[in-house]
Amino acid sequence: MTYRWHAVSGPGIHRQARVRIFVMSVKVVATNRKAGFEYFLFDRFEAGLALKGSEIKSIRAGQISLAEAYVRVDDRRGAFLMEAHIAPYEQANRFNHEPKRARRLLLHKKEIRELWDAVRQKGVTIVPLRVYLKDGRAKLEIAIAKGKKLHDKREAIARRDAEREIDREVH
């Protein structure tokens, strides 16, 4: 956690006061760029990740891939990040982790219940969007998503191409 001191003055404040403001540091480590193209994204959640020591070191080095990752929700056991590849940390030698193991997501019971209710609907899944470090802790942004049909993807491509043409004409 980082704090900064700022000088504050204004109406109703007779003397200049110093106020301590909390500043959060966020560093995005990995993003799932295909998620927005492949799915309609609805509610988003921030989840912590239960990691081993060598895993967090690899994540801090940027050695994580969300390309084939998904989230599995079990009503009793909780939520897990599946198929996310975290590269082995070279200095960990024999104490290294398994690269594609299931990792528990740290969520409140209410959030897990909400995810469980959403996943039971046909065609709805949960996709990881990005992994970031927030004050030294690994966080995962996940979203409730519904798969796009081929014509939806074509519309998105056509819209993107039209925007590019307009930008080219303007500039």
Q: Are residues 112 and 73 in contact, defined by beta-carbon separation less than 8 angstroms?
A: yes
By percentage, how much of the chain surpasses pLDDT 90?
Answer: 49
Higher-pLDDT residue of 60 and 15 is 60
Q: Which CATH architecture has domain 26-154?
A: Beta Barrel (2.40)
Residue 60: pLDDT above 60?
A: yes
Predicted confidence at residue 94, as pLDDT, reads 81
pTM for this model (two decimals): 0.77
Higher-pLDDT residue of 72 and 37 is 72
Q: CA of 28: how far to CAs of 32, 112, 130, 136, 151, in Å?
A: 11, 24, 7, 12, 32
Mind listing the pLDDT tens digit for each residue in 62-96? 999 999 999 999 878 899 999 999 999 888 778 88
Predicted confidence at residue 116, as pLDDT, reads 93
Predicted confidence at residue 14, as pLDDT, reads 54
147 vs 138: CA distance, rounded Å? 27
Q: Are residues 86 and 67 in contact, defined by beta-carbon separation less than 8 angstroms?
A: no
Domain segments of the chain: what residues?
26-154
